[in-house]
Amino acid sequence: MAEPVKVLIVDDSALVRRLLTDALSKDREIQVVGSAPDPFIARNKILELNPDVITLDIEMPKMDGLTFLKVLMQYRPMPVIVISSLTQTGSQKALEALQLGAVDVFPKPSGSYSVCDDLTSLIEKIKAAAKTKIKIKRDSAGIGVKQSVQAGETAGRNILDSGTNNPAANPGVSSVRVPSTGLVNQPQRFPDRGRRYSIKKVILIGASTGGTEAITQVLTALPKDLPGICIVQHIPAYFSAAFANRLNSMCALEVREAKPGDKVKPGLALVAPGGFHMLLKWQPDGYVVELSQGPPVHHQRPAVDVLFESAVKVGAAKDALAVIMTGMGSDGAAGMLKLHQNGAFTVAQDEASCVVFGMPKEAIKLGGVSKILNLSQIASFIDSYATSIALKLNNMV
């Protein structure tokens, strides 16, 4: 049997540390090697225990989690899952952590909440995180995070400096990378061209681990004149609203968390709410979305397969472009195969640019992928695809 994933829990709450330790220790493929109440103690535990994954609280004494994450990604880049409160502020900070290099987020447990209720989800996130590829995040000038830490954070700069600034010299930190954030080195946005489409045209996107930043990179490069877009990102309830709002503030497209009955229309991207499956339904004037709290699929709700298969059932495949991006597991692969078999053009993100090459790999293995693209190429392809289908319509009128 493979070695268990070694986890270090960093949280100032003794209750949370105990809840997480008890929950994770029930899985034989995970070993909680230690815990720490603040980043300074965590620094010593990292050097001593060499964990594979860290769970990290954001609000902590001595140094907040975001500052620690910046330093960590410079001196000792490694997979981090952020534990964040289910509040507007907590969700915004969690998304900032993802931008800085964290691979996933999880709701912060409390005394009235048993983390065991969500044990499967937490364990899957940790196992996915252990397989991710991390690299030093860089700002728009190409400067490492260490150099971009503000003067007020100087006391924490060397918290993980164990004698070398070369992450590859640290054990267990080789062959690692993360796709660049949509906020850094973002390619120039494609211009609107006033394109028009049949009401049946739709773009479907599915992603999981690493997907929030991959989706951000794609959507921020796109113009507004696109067919309606439906997005399923594996993300906990409440965080999805903050994710959609952040995208809306950055994109030419309107982006919002989906509500029951929302119309799928050009210029709008709908994000499935955490905790709800999103399905397409046809009405005489176009597609609308339905939300369901049916059983999780692949341990996920929302699930990419549910969206993709609903598109097949309503006859949307021949008018759809489907994209599957970075993520652990096989969610979306079976649905993408059905879309492909029924006439959809299907795209998978390539291994080199994935944080976890799981979902795209499974879709490729099933034979359901028309084209494999690097993350940096996906926005350009979507824009070109939109031009091709718009021209076909415009030539008919």
* Residues labelled catalytic: 208, 234, 331
CB 221 within 8 A of CB 204: no
The backbone torsions φ and ψ at residue 321, rounded to the nearest 5 degrees and listed phi first, read: -110, 125
